[in-house]
Amino acid sequence: MAAKKAASKPNVSSDELTEYYREMLLIRRFEEKAGQLYGMGLIGGFCHLYIGQEAVVVGLEAAAEEGDKRITSYRDHGHMLACGMDPNGVMAELTGREGGYSKGKGGSMHMFSKEKHFYGGHGIVAAQVPLGAGLAFADKYKENGRVTFTYFGDGAANQGQVYETFNMAALWKLPVIFVIENNQYAMGTSQARSTSSPDIYTRGAAFGIKGEVVDGMDVLAVKEAGEKAVAHCRAGKGPYILEVKTYRYRGHSMSDPAKYRTREEVQRVREERDPIERVREMLLTGKHATEDELKAIDKEIKAIVNESAEFAKDSPQPAESELWTDITA
Amino acid sequence: MAIELLMPALSPTMEEGTLAKWLVKEGDTVSSGDIIAEIETDKATMEFEAVDEGVIGKILVAEGTENVAVNTAIATLLEEGEDADAAVTSSAAAPAEASSAAPATAKPAVAQEDDAPAPQMNLEPDWPEGTEVKQQTVREALRDAMAEEMRGNEDVFLMGEEVAEYQGAYKISQGLLDEFGSKRVIDTPITEHGFAGIGVGSAFGGLRPIVEFMTFNFAMQAIDQIINSAAKTLYMSGGQMGCPIVFRGPNGAAARVGAQHSQDYAAWYAQVPGLKVVMPYSASDAKGLLKSAIRDPNPVIFLENEILYGRAFDVPVMDDFTVPIGKARVWREGDDVTLVSFGIGMQYALEAADKLAEEGISAEVIDLRSLRPIDYDTVLASVMKTNRCVTVEEGWPVGSIGNHISATIMQKAFDYLDAPVINCTGKDVPMPYAANLEKLALVTTDEVIAAVKQVTYR
């Protein structure tokens, strides 16, 4: 598939476009660094990288307002960076250190920031879906006008609790946006082999929930769809489904043998649909930025990421006494 | 400076691997994301990607080499303008001290309390002497507890199947819809996994939900949300995000409802750190503990019993009566044996104590009330006095609360014991339907009496 022309009416300023570039690049470089630290044994256990999917969270965060909430699965580093959490704190959690968001007790899959309204980081596929609806339930109860972005994947879309949640979210008109990040593979099982009907966005129809499909490799298209969904929720019309078609370049986790798809398939997406390259092209051809300016951004991002890696290596392991804290409040 | 490419760890457990194949040769230009080698682990053949751009300088480990340790330099990557002999810097600033660090000197949980003073029994009454009491059923006490807490805190709400218009499948929520309206007393569809998750999410979002399960048998549909989401999040978030929620409903056998509707979950939930677990017997405990549970900042599993719902007990007439979670109640003082029970097991323990008294055996009867945390001190102090103990519960014998109490007594009061502790439990079978078989499957007063006689050698 050839890269589409950038959104037909790029209703976006140079500053905004540059900012999306910067945010997506931060996620990409951060994840590359995380992969590197994993290879060095500094990050342990499971580590799920977001490389390739950056436009999804950056586009949706552009549609969010202060106070809106977000919750996602274990592939969560991108969501945290996009909502403004500190790269040092995220990386130090990956290395299991005291300076991490959960003091090293959560790990890659379990981080939270009440300050940034980020509610995790959940390791059980689809468990975050009712939790996200519950956050929206609390907002509706408090009548505060907030919405919750509840992210899950095409794999999670086959879990029963998703449909239990769709039913109640529609019944109670909860202000929740269900963002299905369809990266086409549930771990190693392609959508064609796992999903009877490929159009996941239509699955809300049975509950009366509107859904649409979005090109998740186009940050502006994602933002536009996000704004529409947010407006729907804030108007009190209940939940909304966005199926965002995206692609993960790396394995499901670090220990993915990559036997379920061809190298050429991955390479083709990287070359033809890369979300960061697309914005880079737009910035240059639209004369929003010069090569030198972009190089400066690259350098700046590299420095942030390197600093986070240094912080994550230098931060001490949590004190042994931490074993016994935070079990009950 | 050239960068060393190191043998990567490609799985949580990998320590070494085979460098199966190089896909680049010296002098090749690579950019971030290019596959440069294939590495075989014990599980799979994995692709190794470049994470930086540059030119492959020297290949240091030939393809086909086996048992290459993680973090061994396998090649060098040159930056623009460097040649292959350029000084080398390792891309690994430091080997992973995380994995090699000395393991935490884990102390067994009990050892922590080695220096603790001798356990004392807490005999403080639940309400001041002279307080007016009234007879009230467990059912009414539970309703009053919820109503009082809902009056006091706008964030408290009740959700569950048939809690509103039907007035509660077991009439526990009778009248609440009228008083608090449909915003705060919410009928859910029959969808335990879903509404348990929504309840937990709403607690993360700042509310104080009471989630009623029509019975705890159905909570198995929701067990992932209860354990993985509600119980563990405070810990996983380093203390940032707790989950103030109460999951309540009838637990254990009712009468003649068969195997799927007759199970005691006390020991299951009591095993989980991050939860609090209470299981009241009397109406005053039902009221006082439910009020405490609703105010508690943690997820609380509140196990009720259908057979006890209609039973009346003394309940103090007070504006705000609460019972602290984690404190046992001594129902009856005695010298010859300690009976430890909770929930409906208390009925058998108390009946047995009455009959034993007629035979001159003086039993001390302790109602644990809270199963997490457990009031160990009261149990231990009592056993140190009576030197004998029988536990009584309705649940299955394997991994029971009684097992845990026995183990604790062995560790902390072994020298005080004059007989092995006996656990009276339900039988190790699914609950049968036939009336005679059901009776056999449940723990009985006679079994408790027999156990006491055994430990007192009578």
Q: Does residue B368 contact residue B342 with C-beta atoms inside 8 Å? A: yes
Q: Give the pLDDT band (50/70/90) at residue A255.
A: confident
Q: Which of A33, A327, A329 sits opposite B297 (nearest CB)?
A: A329
Interface test with A, best of B150, B235, B295 (most A CBs within 10 A): B235
Q: Are residues B299 and B167 in the same domain?
A: yes
Residue B421 has pLDDT above 70, yes or no: yes
CB contact under 8 A, B98 and A160: no
Q: Which of B11, B49, B201 sits opposite A255 (nearest CB)?
A: B11
User: Measured between CA atoms, how close is A11 to chain B, in angstroms?
Assistant: 32
Q: Are residues B167 and B246 in the same domain?
A: yes
Taking contacts as CB-CB distances below 8 angstroms, the residues of chain A near B10 are 39, 254-255
Q: Which of B96, B188, B206 sits opposite A42 (nearest CB)?
A: B96
CA angle, A157 then A56 then B30, to 5° = 110
Q: Are residues B355 and B286 in the same domain?
A: no
The answer as to whether B118 is a domain residue is no
CB contact under 8 A, A105 and B236: yes
Tell me how many domains chain B contains.
3
Q: Give the pLDDT band (50/70/90) at residue B348.
A: very high
Residue of A nearest to B106 (CA): A320
| Residue B387 lies in domain | 329-455
Rounded CA-CA distance A152/A161 in Å is: 12
Of B70, B92, B114, the residue at which a domain comes to its end is B92
Q: If you search the block for the tokens 């408290």, which residue do you land on?
A: B156
Interface test with A, best of B161, B198, B300, B325 (most A CBs within 10 A): B198
Both structure tokens of B420? 């092995």
Q: What percent of chain B has pLDDT over 70?
A: 93
Rounded CA-CA distance B78/B84 in Å is: 7
The answer as to whether B231 is a domain residue is yes
**CATH for B61:** 2.40.50.100
**CATH for B138:** 3.40.50.970
Q: What is the DSSP letter of B80?
A: T
Report the 10 Å Cβ neighbour count for A185.
Answer: 21
pLDDT in tens, A7-19: 445 678 999 999 9
CB contact under 8 A, A44 and B43: no
Rounded CA-CA distance B264/B270 in Å is: 11
The answer as to whether B240 is a domain residue is yes
Of B92, B125, B145, the residue at which a domain comes to its end is B92
Both structure tokens of B77? 């990557």
Q: Are residues B179 and B287 in the same domain?
A: yes
Domains defined for chain A, CATH in brackets: 47-81+109-287 (3.40.50.970)
Both structure tokens of A14? 């140079």
Q: Which of residues 183-212 of A touch B (CB under 8 A)?
A: none
Residue of A nearest to B200 (CA): A131
- Could you tell me the sign of the dihedral formed by the alpha carbons of B233, B238, B241, B246, in that order? positive
Q: Give the pLDDT band (50/70/90) at residue A164.
A: very high
Q: Are residues B171 and B231 in the same domain?
A: yes
pLDDT in tens, B179-229: 999 999 999 999 999 999 999 999 999 999 999 999 999 999 999 999 999
pTM of the model: 0.91
Q: If you search the block for the tokens 């350098």, which residue do you land on?
A: A299
User: Measured between CA atoms, how close is B323 to chain A, in angstroms?
Assistant: 18
